């Protein structure tokens, strides 16, 4: 049973539903890297070639800051149980592209590289990863792995990546503020209009620094992560099947932008700084108890359950008239073309795909596992909100396009400009900006 990235393949989503019910970029030069680092013999400790080599090698790994918690959990668990040791470097999100680009030029990439799943297709196209098709296909539990992050790193039949962290977007709300506003603290929004109404109710409290909602207006990545699910839940698409045409000017999308525009026009409706928010601090206002309701990354909210001084509600992100969806985001990881320790790096990747590692690293920490068996059976003792969040995965999507980053995530992207116009402007440039997104996607 596998998940899929592309929105047209519903059969895989149905398969994931059945499992959940049980629980209530082709690369030039990559082949040379594989040959240089691979081997057929076991490691000094007797590990098999399928498991790679665990012989005390010092490995290097890069990850981006938004997923620091999960990366540290994985590395600490591996280092405590293996002779190999992984040295983790956490990169500021805005520095990833520059750091990776410079390392490509100097052939100094780390052994293990994790990156935003929507950027992976481009990195594969650029030859950044080692081809590990045979190794992935030999995994005894490959059919039980979340396939979205595998598919994102597949080109011309060759596989370069595995799932690292599966992040999902959910709707969160501050139950304490809901109670003060006369709302049912146990009931989050189930339609777009309910989202607007509930945000307005919190805004009407008139409390200093408190807003109905918040939006990362200058962060293309945060905007797709939070707004695309509202479009998908409404029965519309954000991209064409082949990822070359933008559809973010359709009726559902326009309704979503209008809802946020209404909140901008409402006193305290939209949090101060939303229009200028670059993504560096976009989760902080909710974390500080200053936002009523907003779409949010589950990897960030799960860490608040035991630390926030207010009660938090979690629900799926709704569409215009209901439905639900989520952005299947997060990071995939692979072995870089620079690595001289492919067998040892594979040992880390293969271990991370195991049920035991997925349970210890992810499920036990209220994070989303990438192993379907663990996803189904490993959350009996989890926070109920984690079960709710995991339940959204069956309706989730991962958009795949080689130039997704340039069209959507990059600073000053046409998508970012479209949101500025549609939410804080009059929407008059929406059509031309949507065309610009399509032009970038098709380059």
Q: What is the pLDDT, as a whole number, of residue 344?
A: 98
Q: What is the pLDDT, as a whole number, of residue 245?
A: 97
406 domain residue, yes or no: no
Task: Say if residue 131 is in the same domain as residue 214.
Answer: no
The pTM score is 0.78
pLDDT at 418 over 50: yes
295 domain residue, yes or no: yes
Q: Which domain holds residue 191?
A: 169-327+412-441
The answer to whether 363 and 382 have CB atoms below 8 angstroms apart is yes
Per-residue pLDDT reduced to its tens digit, 260-314? 999 999 999 999 999 999 988 999 999 999 999 999 999 899 889 999 999 999 9
Task: Say if residue 226 is in the same domain as residue 354.
Answer: no
Task: Say if residue 320 is in the same domain as residue 342.
Answer: no
CATH of the domain at 159: 3.40.190.10
pLDDT-derived band at 194, boundaries 50, 70, 90: very high
The answer to whether 401 and 407 have CB atoms below 8 angstroms apart is yes
Task: Say if residue 339 is in the same domain as residue 255.
Answer: no
Task: Say if residue 249 is in the same domain as residue 154.
Answer: no
Q: What share of the chain is helix, strand, coil (3-state, %, to 5)?
A: 45, 15, 40
The number of distinct structural domains making up the chain is 2
pLDDT at 257 over 80: yes
Average pLDDT value for the chain: 88
Task: Say if residue 320 is in the same domain as residue 349.
Answer: no
Task: Say if residue 149 is in the same domain as residue 216.
Answer: no
Q: What is the pLDDT, as a whole number, of residue 402?
A: 83
pLDDT-derived band at 35, boundaries 50, 70, 90: very low
Task: Say if residue 55 is in the same domain as residue 204.
Answer: no
DSSP result, 233-255: HTT--SB-TTS-SB-TTSHHHHH
Task: Say if residue 21 is in the same domain as residue 148.
Answer: yes
3-state secondary structure at position 333 = strand
Per-residue pLDDT reduced to its tens digit, 327-362? 988 899 999 999 999 999 999 999 999 999 999 999
């Amino acid at each position: 049973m596998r998940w899929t990235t592309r929105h047209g393949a519903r059969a895989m989503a149905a398969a994931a539903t059945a499992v959940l019910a049980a629980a209530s970029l082709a690369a030039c030069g990559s082949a040379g890297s594989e040959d240089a680092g691979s081997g057929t013999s076991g490691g000094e400790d007797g590990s098999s070639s399928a498991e790679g080599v665990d012989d005390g090698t010092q490995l290097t790994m890069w990850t981006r800051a938004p997923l620091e918690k999960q990366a540290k959990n994985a590395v600490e668990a591996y280092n405590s149980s293996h002779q190999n040791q992984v040295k983790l470097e956490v990169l500021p999100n805005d520095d990833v592209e520059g750091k990776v680009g410079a390392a490509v030029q100097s052939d100094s990439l780390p052994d293990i590289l994790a990156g935003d799943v929507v950027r992976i297709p481009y990195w594969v196209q650029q030859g950044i990863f080692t081809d590990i098709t045979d190794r992935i296909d030999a995994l005894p539990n490959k059919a039980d792995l979340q396939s979205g992050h595998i598919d994102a790193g597949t080109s011309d039949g060759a596989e370069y990546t595995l799932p690292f962290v599966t992040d999902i977007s959910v709707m969160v709300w501050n139950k304490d503020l809901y109670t003060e506003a006369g709302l049912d603290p146990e009931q989050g929004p189930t339609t777009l209009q309910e989202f607007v109404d509930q945000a307005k109710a919190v805004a009407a409290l008139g409390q200093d620094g408190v807003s109905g909602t918040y939006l990362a207006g200058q962060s293309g990545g945060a905007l797709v992560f939070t707004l695309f699910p509202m479009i998908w839940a409404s029965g519309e698409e954000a991209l064409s099947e082949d990822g070359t045409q933008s559809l973010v000017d359709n009726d559902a999308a326009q309704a979503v932008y209008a809802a946020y525009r209404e909140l901008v026009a409402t006193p305290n409706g939209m949090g101060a700084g939303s229009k200028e928010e670059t993504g560096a601090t976009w989760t902080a206002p909710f974390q500080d108890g200053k936002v009523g309701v907003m779409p949010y990354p589950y990897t960030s909210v799960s860490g608040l359950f035991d630390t926030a001084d207010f009660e938090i509600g979690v629900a799926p992100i709704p569409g215009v008239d209901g439905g639900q969806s989520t952005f299947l985001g997060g990071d995939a990881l692979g072995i870089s073309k620079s690595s001289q320790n492919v067998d040892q790096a594979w040992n880390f990747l293969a271990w991370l795909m195991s049920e035991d590692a997925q349970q210890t690293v992810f499920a036990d920490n209220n994070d989303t596992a990438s192993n379907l068996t663990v996803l189904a059976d490993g959350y009996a003792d989890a926070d109920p909100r984690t079960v709710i969040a995991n339940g959204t995965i069956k309706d989730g999507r991962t958009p795949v396009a080689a130039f997704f980053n340039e069209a959507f995530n990059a600073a000053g992207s046409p998508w970012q400009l479209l949101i500025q116009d549609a939410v804080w402007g009059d929407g008059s440039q929406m059509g031309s900006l949507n065309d610009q997104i399509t032009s970038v996607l098709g380059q």
